[in-house]
Chains A and B, each alone.
Chain A
Amino acid sequence: MFLIFIAITLGITYWASRRSAGANAFFAAGRQIKSWQNGVAVAGDYMSAASFLGIAGIIAFQGYDGFMFSVGWLVAYLTLLLVVAEPLRNSGKYTMADVLAYRLQPRPVRAMAALSTITICTFYMVAQMVGAGALVALLLKGSGISFSTAVIGVGVLMIVYVVFGGMLATTWVQIVKAILLTIGAILLSFLVMSHFHFSLYSFFDAIGHVTYHDQGREVVKDFLQPGLRYKPPYGPLDLISLSLALILGTAGLPHILVRFYTVPDAKTARHSIIWAMALIGSFYIMTTFLGFGAATIVGRDFIATHGGNNMSAPLLAQALAGDIFFAFICAIAFATILAVVAGLTISATTSFAHDFWTNVIHRGVERKPGEEVRVARVSAFVLGAISMVIAILLGPTVNVAFLTSLAICVAASANLPAILFSIFWPRFNTTGAVAGMAVGLLASIGLILVSPSLMAIDPPTVTGSARHLIQAKAWFPLENPGIVSIPLGFLGAIVGTLLSHEPTSRHKFNELLVRSNTGLGAEKATAGH
């Protein structure tokens, strides 16, 4: 059965890459990516392990609170649409670092941007590794492969495939996977509803009375009720913190922002966001169905002993339509993870190799031909290795949507203040940017390290990877530090700016202002990547 899965995954990837070769030639011939294509590709970036596996997992285990993740993720696109996307596209540059370097001194700003990009990509990558490892471990359950082995095996394969395989991150491949994932989700939702005889009433009735075992005792919970994950005393605050991080973070995610440079102009960027929102929104509404379906049809107890909460959606597929469908869903999920890993690797390694290594350390001069590419390859392996280690340490029960929300929190704290102030604040300067990004990064990561995700005192009944890494009472009570780290990021940027003067930045503000608002002088997009 694992072989079926491998066959399907390779088939999808191979077919999509072949088509991509043709599509790229087409794009390179001068035509550019249309808004719907870019929108679907953006959606594909988003609909990865985090949403499909992760949100279904939280909802399957903790009901309503998982829905909050979906909501935040979609509404975040409004921030992108109304405030960030068009100015960025109009400013005509390729990456977030390019935009920041527009008014400010390039070296310090690129260095910080590379640092934050790599950090965010690492978090995201860890989530993908956990998802991929859990998938493979589940599929090979019979042969006794552990999660750790699965992560290492799969991780190495993915990185090697990505570094030497090339085409995986291309827009077309993302599009194909997004479409397949949507079809899979629609099929699953249909099957869930047919299980309940297409009666929404009985579906919600079942959700209202979910049974499982909590520490040995059987409980019945209303899964439509908020509060199963975010309980008092800190739950409500944590929820607000999460919401803040989600709604602001997407507009600061480097690998999402870079997608808007592959469209010809701001108007197309705008329309592609609309397409993305339509797809993502519908997809998320479906995943909540899947999560509730998994909670009621498969049950938390079964899922917990068969791969953990991240496997809720595939296990639902298995329960409803047997092993072939299960393999199909696993394959699509895995293929999407692979594509996202490819995108992240490219984003992080080009940021390191181009922004940091060549521009910052060697002042824009490539000492030997091909050096930049080699640096990128090496950094890909390092990134992969670090993510794998962290994924193994965290274990299969850490929810991947949750991990992604942490990455988004870092983006909101470190990147967004710099981006916003660069576009909107004349006085903003390099010191401000560096300070803001540094404070945002340190605050978000620091608080995550001392949060209940990593620090807690577990009773002896909790064993293995479910035990927290640091056995002590958490210093910071919230899972998501957004409500503290994001304001700190903004504050850092403000204080840094006010403490120094940089007339050149102010002079260039009008140029950036006019460009970003009108599109005057904006570069035409390069052909799709």
Chain B
Amino acid sequence: MPDDTKLDQNAQTVWDRVAASREFRDLMATKKIFIVPAFIFFMVFYFLLPILVGYAPSFMTIKVWGDVNLAYLFALSQFFMAWIVAALYVRAADRFDALSRDIIEAAQKPKDEKGGQ
């Protein structure tokens, strides 16, 4: 990290250049398309649990099978929701990785041509 502050103007513009490049902006857009909705979804799904349990108790205590009520099943479903969202993210992330690799290669090529950092 200290090295970066000592490097000349050139190095700083490398980051700015990459940040402004189309490939990087594609990467960010691709990430946002997945991560933002996924985040909102799991937050809403998750918070529904304490909200319903706290403010709609008569609904949540409806028994579904024997003594098992909706509250218990909904809480249990949170575990599966988390696992599923995580698995979906890992799949999406493979795509992010591919894009990142391209960006890294592109960023390192001009440096090599100029004789390295």
Q: Which residues on A are within 8 Å of B, measured CB to CB?
A: 64, 67-68, 71-72, 74-75, 77-78, 81-83, 86, 93, 98, 101-102, 201, 204-205, 207-208, 222, 224-227, 230, 235-237, 239-240, 242-243, 247, 267, 270-271, 273-274, 277-278, 281, 284-285, 507-508, 510-511, 513-515, 517-520
Q: How far is the CA of A270 from the CA of B103 in the complex (A)?
A: 20
A75 touching B78 by the CB < 8 A rule?
A: yes
A270 contact from B57, B85, B90, Cβ within 8 A: B90
B15 touching A514 by the CB < 8 A rule?
A: yes
B86 touching A78 by the CB < 8 A rule?
A: yes
Could you tell me the distance in whole angstroms from the C-beta of A318 to the nearest C-beta in chain B? Answer: 26
B83 touching A226 by the CB < 8 A rule?
A: no
17 of the cross-chain contacts (CB-CB < 8 Å) are: A68-B75, A71-B78, A93-B1, A201-B66, A226-B53, A236-B51, A239-B53, A240-B50, A247-B46, A270-B89, A274-B87, A274-B90, A284-B79, A511-B12, A514-B15, A514-B19, A519-B100
A225 contacts which chain B residues (CB < 8 A)?
A: 57, 61, 69, 71
Q: How far is the CA of A510 from the CA of B20 in the complex (A)?
A: 9
CB-based nearest B residue for A222: B67
- Interface of A (DSSP majority class): helix
Q: A511 and B100 in contact (CB under 8 A), knowing A81-B89, A204-B66?
A: no
B68 contact from A204, A247, A513, Cβ within 8 A: A204
Q: A224 and B68 in contact (CB under 8 A), knowing A74-B82, A240-B50?
A: yes
Could you tell me the distance in whole angstroms from the C-beta of A486 to the nearest C-beta in chain B? Answer: 13
Q: Which residues on B are within 8 Å of A, measured CB to CB?
A: 1, 4, 12, 15-16, 18-19, 24, 27-28, 31, 35, 38-39, 42-43, 46-47, 49-51, 53-55, 57, 60-61, 66-69, 71-72, 75-76, 78-79, 81-83, 85-87, 89-90, 93, 97, 100, 103-104, 107
Q: How far is the CA of A159 from the CA of B97 in the complex (A)?
A: 43
B103 touching A236 by the CB < 8 A rule?
A: no
CB-based nearest A residue for B16: A510
A77 touching B54 by the CB < 8 A rule?
A: no
- Residue of B15, B38, B61, B81 with highest tally of chain A CB at under 10 A: B15
A81 touching B47 by the CB < 8 A rule?
A: no
A83 contacts which chain B residues (CB < 8 A)?
A: 35, 39
CB-based nearest B residue for A239: B50
B72 touching A224 by the CB < 8 A rule?
A: yes
Q: How far is the CA of A351 from the CA of B61 in the complex (A)?
A: 47
A68 touching B50 by the CB < 8 A rule?
A: yes
B82 contact from A64, A75, A208, A267, Cβ within 8 A: A75
Could you tell me the distance in whole angstroms from the C-beta of B47 to the nearest C-beta in chain A? Answer: 6
Closest 8 CB pairs of A and B: A236-B54, A208-B67, A511-B15, A518-B100, A510-B19, A239-B50, A204-B67, A226-B53
B47 touching A243 by the CB < 8 A rule?
A: yes
Q: A271 and B90 in contact (CB under 8 A), knowing A82-B38, A518-B100?
A: yes
Q: A243 and B49 in contact (CB under 8 A), knowing A78-B42, A517-B27?
A: yes
B51 contacts which chain A residues (CB < 8 A)?
A: 236, 240
B54 contact from A102, A235, A277, A510, Cβ within 8 A: A235
B86 touching A514 by the CB < 8 A rule?
A: no
Could you tell me the distance in whole angstroms from the C-beta of B36 to the nearest C-beta in chain A? Answer: 9
B46 touching A243 by the CB < 8 A rule?
A: yes
Q: How far is the CA of A71 from the CA of B83 in the complex (A)?
A: 12
CB-based nearest A residue for B11: A511
Could you tell me the distance in whole angstroms from the C-beta of B30 to the nearest C-beta in chain A? Answer: 10
Q: A64 and B72 in contact (CB under 8 A), knowing A93-B1, A205-B66, A239-B54?
A: yes
B18 contact from A201, A222, A273, A520, Cβ within 8 A: A520
B38 contacts which chain A residues (CB < 8 A)?
A: 82
A102 contacts which chain B residues (CB < 8 A)?
A: 1
Q: A68 and B49 in contact (CB under 8 A), knowing A78-B42, A83-B35?
A: yes
Q: A281 and B79 in contact (CB under 8 A), knowing A267-B97, A520-B103?
A: yes
B76 contacts which chain A residues (CB < 8 A)?
A: 285
Q: How far is the CA of A479 from the CA of B39 in the complex (A)?
A: 27
Could you tell me the distance in whole angstroms from the C-beta of B15 to the nearest C-beta in chain A? Answer: 4
- Residue of B31, B35, B75, B107 with highest tally of chain A CB at under 10 A: B75
Q: A237 and B72 in contact (CB under 8 A), knowing A517-B31, A518-B27?
A: no
Could you tell me the distance in whole angstroms from the C-beta of B98 to the nearest C-beta in chain A? Answer: 11
A82 contacts which chain B residues (CB < 8 A)?
A: 35, 38-39, 85, 89
CB-based nearest A residue for B31: A517
B89 contacts which chain A residues (CB < 8 A)?
A: 81-82, 270
CB-based nearest B residue for A74: B82
Q: How far is the CA of A520 from the CA of B117 in the complex (A)?
A: 14
A518 touching B78 by the CB < 8 A rule?
A: no
Given contact pairs A236-B53, A515-B15, a sample of 14 additional A-B residue pairs in the complex whose CB atoms are under 8 Å apart: A64-B71, A67-B75, A68-B75, A75-B82, A77-B82, A82-B85, A226-B54, A237-B54, A247-B43, A267-B93, A510-B18, A510-B19, A519-B100, A520-B104
- Residue of A98, A101, A247 with highest tally of chain B CB at under 10 A: A247
Q: How far is the CA of A466 from the CA of B83 in the complex (A)?
A: 39
Q: How far is the CA of A294 from the CA of B68 in the complex (A)?
A: 18
Q: How far is the CA of A510 from the CA of B19 in the complex (A)?
A: 6
A518 contact from B12, B71, B90, B104, Cβ within 8 A: B104
A277 contacts which chain B residues (CB < 8 A)?
A: 82-83, 86
A230 contacts which chain B residues (CB < 8 A)?
A: 54
